[in-house]
Structure 1
Amino acid sequence: MQNTLGLASQSKRSQERCGLPVKESLGSRNEVAKRNAFTLVELLVVIAIIGILVGLLLPAVQSAREAARRMQCQNNMKQLGLAMHNHMATHGAFPPGNVNYDESGNRFKTGGWQHGQNELGWTWLPMLFPFIEQPGLWQQVNICEDDRADDHTSNPCDHCEYMASNNHFGRDQLGGFISCPSAPAPVTQFTDGTYGLESLAKGCNYAASWGSGNMLSWESSETRGAFGTYYVHQDKIIKPGVGSTVAAGDRFQQRNGMKSRDFLDGLSNTIALSEIVASDVGGGSLPATDIRGVWMSPAMGASIFSTFLNPNAKEKDTLAACDDTITGINQPYMECLQVRDTADVYAASRSHHVGGVNTLMADGSVRFVSESVDNISIWQPMGTAQNSEVITIE
């Protein structure tokens, strides 16, 4: 037997030296196969482990991405806060929330000329363009103003959007500086002929605080916020020109917003801006007649909000232009009631962040405010500038 094994070994070595293929026994091949393959059970265990790890890591990755988006959202707000204070340094005041020189009964209305609002000026946002490195946008604002210099029966949402020579200013979204990264990009424009406005871009996620009440909050020190309507006679806007023409006066009224001395509650205790959501949260499934997120309009839910309702409130917003058939959109909550003939409209601060909203205070600081904040003792007082409340946030 030993001789046989020795001869086999010598034969194998001879074959290797001659470059001939060496035949292996069946047992040797089985041993190689066993060493280089996984069993089905082992493969399934590995797949299961990978699946568990992915399941554990994916929420953490998503959470990290949302944290980064929320930080970018806060940074956008800080830039707007810096622009507001640069505006105050230049003009002595924050910009007015919007300018209105229409009939007294229209001082709270925000529609277009077909709805009876003919004499409106600009909102707070375009007045900040020079201070947020947007000279091109500010130039378009001034081109529109030059074009309507002899026309006091118009408003920017109608006149500027219609101007083909000015690239229909108002139809396009502004860009990332006014949009929260956590919010989906809007895919529709606002168009509602019965409200007198057409083809206005959405995408605005930051709104000015109108106080703790409705569209007339600015008329009372108990409810007035950091922004409000500057209601003025048209003589301050339009002044006589040469001959039969007229020339534009001060349509912007940039000196007539809130001054630092007007914040009796203190700049650090008063909300300047907070978050809102555009009406495209359903991926564009909502109709174009919903005004939420329209940056050019001073309507509730468009570029202004009220602390009347809590952040991310599970209560309906009352708006001048919305789809009141919306149901089933709960994060953020999007049901609303449409009211156009009274000042009693309210839009809550809402966001795509879990648990609350980013909020810019009038001193330029940014806070994340929980949606469970006490409405009467904290949130509404934070929305007012002149009601002498003492706010304690633990």
Structure 2
Amino acid sequence: MVRTHRRGFTLIELLVVIAIIAVLIALLLPAVQAAREAARRAQCVNNLKQIGIALHNYHSSHDSMPWGDGPDEWNQWSSAALLLPYIEQSSLHNAINFSYGLQNWNLPYNTTTHRTQISSLLCPSDIDRLTNADAHSNYSGNAGTAPATFYDWDNTGAFDGLFTWSGNPPKGGSYKKTQTVAGFRDIIDGTSNTAAFSEKVKGIGTYSTERVADALRPPAVYALISKPTGADLLNPQTVYNQCKSLNPASPGTPQNQNSLYPNGALWYNGCPSNSRYNHVMTPNTWSCTYNGRWGDMGGAVTATSRHPGVATVLFADGSVKAIKSSINPATWWALGTRAGGEVVSADAY
């Protein structure tokens, strides 16, 4: 009988095999991560498309789009709250007590509504660092391009977007309420050239927590800037220049700790940090605001996302487009106005 002897792998051969497997994993991992991000981004696009359908159905019923921030006495329901019946959330909408009253949105009998998370209001590419009990959101309505467009207490006619405040200041104020809701008839620039909703990355902590430095890019914190005056309340250039020179992610940069809420902390609330943004800073830069809290907040509340190099934007015609972070500021400003008269080429963004 002839006895055969099988030779095993040598140490060198084993190390070579391990090295080949490691190289293959290194090559495949980015592809797997890219595929996952593509799926997450597709879900985000679909969420915005559903909001677009809801906006058009709401307009068909009311001949206007919803307000961006509810009326007086802190009855500050967001546009998302008004759109609930049109995104298959009629039961949740019916559970809301919309009656006029002091801090109505924060009354105990609305707690169930506050804490009900609507999955279509979350972008799966973002992480959640919020710690408040209420449900969150990644999507915000376009208030316009003017730094004062959120709450125009200076009577400048700053509202040039689609979602503004529908209220009045406290008694004794000199504010003269102008247009508070917009309709398709007001979009002179064309619905395909006017942004309606965009992503905004969620913030950090809770609404009782002071702002902290944010190491992620784009950062979710707000740098503090001085309030512009006169024509600069309408012109984004001055605030853009001031904000561009700052870095809110740096621990040494003054932060607006009175902006009331971190981004997206309360899906149902119409404050800019929660459910509105404007077209002052280009996508995925950072936000810079003046003054504090809700009553006179303005500046730049910026469209941001975790998608590499782009922010996903819903336009008033219902289309969804990925807007590059490198978009020319003037083009971005033009997309934020509903009747600015700008001429924007489709290949510009």
Normalising by structure 1, we get a TM-score of 0.66
d(CA) in 1 for partners of 2:139 and 2:36?
Answer: 21
Describe the SS at the equivalent of 2:162: coil
Contact 1:223 1:387 in 2 (8 A): no
d(CA) in 2 for partners of 1:340 and 1:223?
Answer: 16
Give the CA deviation at 1:122. Answer: 1.9
Describe the SS at the equivalent of 1:225: coil
What corresponds to 1:208 in structure 2?
A: 141
d(CA) in 1 for partners of 2:183 and 2:261?
Answer: 33
Match among 361, 383, 387 for residue 315 of structure 2: 361
Contact 1:270 1:383 in 2 (8 A): yes
Alignment pair present for 1:175 and 2:118: yes
Contact 2:139 2:275 in 1 (8 A): yes
Match among 33, 42, 62 for residue 13 of structure 2: 42
1:191-270 alignment to 2 at 5 Å?
201-216=134-149, 224-231=160-167, 257-270=181-194
Contact 2:150 2:165 in 1 (8 A): no
Do the aligned partners of residues 232 and 300 (structure 1) sit closer, same or farther apart at CA in structure 2, a change above 3 Å counting? closer
Q: 1 or 2 for the larger relative contact order (CA 8 Å, sep ≥6)?
A: 2
What corresponds to 2:197 in structure 1?
A: 273
RMSD: 2.9
Contact 2:76 2:270 in 1 (8 A): no
Match among 258, 268, 271 for residue 299 of structure 1: 271
d(CA) in 2 for partners of 1:44 and 1:221?
Answer: 71
d(CA) in 1 for partners of 2:261 and 2:151?
Answer: 25
Contact 1:211 1:218 in 2 (8 A): no
List runs of 5+ in structure 2 lacking aligned partners. Answer: 171-178, 213-256
What corresponds to 1:381 in structure 2?
A: 334
d(CA) in 2 for partners of 1:129 and 1:339?
Answer: 26
What corresponds to 1:134 in structure 2?
A: 89
Contact 1:218 1:225 in 2 (8 A): no
Describe the SS at the equivalent of 2:312: strand
What corresponds to 1:332 in structure 2?
A: none
Do the aligned partners of residues 167 and 257 (structure 1) sit closer, same or farther apart at CA in structure 2, a change above 3 Å counting? same
Match among 6, 9, 33 for residue 62 of structure 1: 33
Describe the SS at the equivalent of 1:181: coil
d(CA) in 2 for partners of 1:57 and 1:185?
Answer: 27
Contact 2:69 2:269 in 1 (8 A): no
Alignment pair present for 1:390 and 2:334: no
Give the CA deviation at 1:347. Answer: 0.8
Give the CA deviation at 1:222. Answer: 6.8
d(CA) in 2 for partners of 1:300 and 1:217?
Answer: 7
Do the aligned partners of residues 81 and 343 (structure 1) sit closer, same or farther apart at CA in structure 2, a change above 3 Å counting? same
1:62-211 alignment to 2 at 5 Å?
62-101=33-72, 118-141=73-96, 144-145=97-98, 149=99, 152-156=101-105, 158-159=106-107, 162-163=108-109, 166-170=110-114, 172-189=115-132, 201-211=134-144
- Aligned-partner residue type, residue 208 of structure 1: G
d(CA) in 2 for partners of 1:168 and 1:128?
Answer: 17
List runs of 5+ in structure 1 lacking aligned partners. Answer: 1-11, 13-23, 102-117, 190-198, 235-254, 321-337
d(CA) in 2 for partners of 1:225 and 1:303?
Answer: 14
- Aligned-partner residue type, residue 169 of structure 1: T
Match among 372, 375, 378 for residue 326 of structure 2: 372
1:330-369 alignment to 2 at 5 Å?
342-369=296-323
d(CA) in 2 for partners of 1:167 and 1:300?
Answer: 21
Describe the SS at the equivalent of 1:367: strand
Contact 1:264 1:388 in 2 (8 A): yes
Describe the SS at the equivalent of 1:272: strand
Contact 2:271 2:294 in 1 (8 A): no
Give the CA deviation at 1:168. Answer: 4.3
Identity %: 31
Alignment pair present for 1:32 and 2:5: yes
Contact 1:183 1:352 in 2 (8 A): yes
- Aligned-partner residue type, residue 87 of structure 1: Y
Describe the SS at the equivalent of 1:86: helix
d(CA) in 2 for partners of 1:341 and 1:178?
Answer: 25
Describe the SS at the equivalent of 1:99: coil
Describe the SS at the equivalent of 1:80: helix
Contact 1:319 1:340 in 2 (8 A): no
d(CA) in 2 for partners of 1:129 and 1:340?
Answer: 23
Describe the SS at the equivalent of 2:127: coil
Contact 1:221 1:387 in 2 (8 A): no
Describe the SS at the equivalent of 2:15: helix
Describe the SS at the equivalent of 2:311: strand
